[in-house]
Amino acid sequence: MYARQLQERNKALLLGKTTRSSDLIGQKPPSDVTKSSVIRILSWTTDNHTQWPEGTSIFDQCNLPNGNTCENYIDRKRLKESDVLFFHAQAINPRDLPQVRSPKQKWLFYEFEMPPQTWIQQESLDPIRNVFNLTSTIAFDSHIPILERHSQCYLSKGRLAKNTKMNVDYAEGKGHRVAWFVSHCDTQSRREKYAEALSKYIPVDIVGKCGNLTCGHKHKRGNCDETVINPNYKFYLSFENSLCQDYVTEKLWRLLMKPISAIPIVLGSVDYKKMLPEGTYLDIKDYSSPKMLADHLKLLDHDDTAFNTFIARKNAVYCLYPGNKTFQESRYHCQLCQYLHDHRDDVSAVRDVVNFWSTKSRCTDPREYYKGSFDL
């Protein structure tokens, strides 16, 4: 009953993605209301995914204009004074929603993973379909896109010249085996099937939950890239677990932005050619079969000059976030707080968040993706 009432109330807000509050109710907010420079964010889901400390300290570091900041807390007793309720989608319990909701309060849907990894709940999602006002995901059509998951990379000519002059033999002591760090074994992308096929033609060492090799804590890789990949491997599988719009995870960025002497091999539903300089990665879509990819890897393995040129280019890459912003300028908590202040008078409603963040609307069927590259 409560969920139905929430949905009916939110239907009144469904006037598009964002609408000014004065347009919605036919009048401007009272002019005598004094706005606080602090926006209070209650993290409703209890998994503490963001790991933000309680209080304003992390937001104060953003140096927002006009002394604006935000406050994060997890005490549900402060529900009534909250301006924004922050819901991490994976941790949402449809039966655990606030029983009282202020019309001035915004509910924010946050998720850094794609739909196949989001909806892990074992019960109906109907109660949450139409209760959110804002979205924050890696998709660019979210109200607050998570820019930390997006980069545009360039080749530094100066760094490349320096790397070439150093004349390092990155191939020394390495065999032709391929490394793959992986913990999700059964995925929407069916990457495990491609890796299995590839392993018939070139050895693939699987590190983590899905293989028989280990390194680091199960949730933290630590310096495994340096201690395992650098001395032993020429190639690394950077395979995404989902074939979804805008989805590129840390698997690739970590290998590109560190001086790791292995060539990343990518599998994902993005146009890598628009994101990365030529000659810094290999894409499985550029090969008609896993065997053809393996044959190319073997050629690189036997040609140290070609391999070293590849690594010199890869290690000359630098990446910027959308708008040519640095990491510091793209910090998520700063983006969030700035947006909430800039749009604090806006009224918005999300039309069916389950459909907005669904595999059908965001992801590519693996059979379609692999056409011409692999018989799934």
- The least confident of 4-8, 161-165, 250-254, 313-317 is 4-8
**Does 215 or 364 have the greater pLDDT score?**
364
* Residue 302 in tokens: 């036997």
Q: Residue 216: what pLDDT?
A: 63
Per-residue pLDDT at 100? 85
Query: Looking at residues 241-263, what average pLDDT do you find?
Result: 87
Q: What is the pLDDT of residues 327-355, one digit of tens each?
A: 666 789 999 999 999 999 999 999 999 99
Every domain range in the chain assigned CATH 3.40.50.11660: 152-320
| Cβ 20 vs Cβ 345: under 8 Å | yes
Is 2's pLDDT higher than 60?
A: no
- For residue 125, what pLDDT is reported? 95
State mean pLDDT over 253-261.
Answer: 84
What's the rounded mean pLDDT across residues 75-101?
94
- The separation between CA 120 and the C-alpha centre of its own chain, rounded to angstroms, equals 17
Confidence of residue 374 (pLDDT cuts 50, 70, 90): very high
Q: Which of 91, 48, 95, 96 is nearest to 73 (CA)?
A: 48
d(CA 72, CA 214): 36
Name which of 140, 148, 119 is nearest 249 in CA terms. Answer: 148
Mean pLDDT of 90-97: 94
Residue 198 tokens read as 């590839």
Tell me the per-residue pLDDT of 110-127, one tens digit each, with 9 for 90 and over: 999 999 999 988 889 999
Q: Are 229 and 205 in contact (CB under 8 A)?
A: no
Q: What is the mean pLDDT of residues 129-155?
A: 92
265, β-bridge pairs? 237, 282
- Among 14-23, 152-161, 166-175, 332-341, whose mean pLDDT is lowest? 14-23
pLDDT at residue 33 greater than cutoff 50: no
pLDDT at 10 over 90: no
Identify the pLDDT of residue 327.
Answer: 65
Residue 215 has pLDDT above 90, yes or no: no
Query: Which one-letter amino acid corresponds to residue 156?
Result: S
pLDDT category at 36 given cuts 50, 70, 90 is confident
The helix or strand, by DSSP H or E, that contains position 107, with its residue range, turns out to be: strand 106-110
Provide the pLDDT for residue 147: 83
Structure confidence at residue 286 (pLDDT): 97
What type of residue sits at position 64? L
Q: How far apart are CA 349 and CA 129, in angstroms?
A: 11
Q: What is the mean pLDDT of residues 40-63?
A: 89
Task: Identify the residue whose tokens are 């300290």.
Answer: 57
In CATH terms, the superfamily for domain 152-320 is Glycosyl transferase family 10, C-terminal domain (3.40.50.11660)
At residue 235, does pLDDT exceed 50?
yes
pLDDT for 304 beyond 90: yes
How many residues does this entry show for the chain? 376
The answer on pLDDT for 182 being more than 70 is yes
DSSP letter for each residue of 65-101? GGG-EEEEE--GGGGGG-SEEEEEGGG--TT---S--
Query: H or E stretch including 141?
Result: none
- pLDDT score, position 222: 60
From residue 127, how far is each of 89, 123, 131, 143, 324 by CA, in Å? 13, 10, 8, 22, 40
Amino acid (1-letter code) at residue 245: Q
Residue 230 has pLDDT above 70, yes or no: yes
Tell me, what's the pLDDT at 126?
A: 95
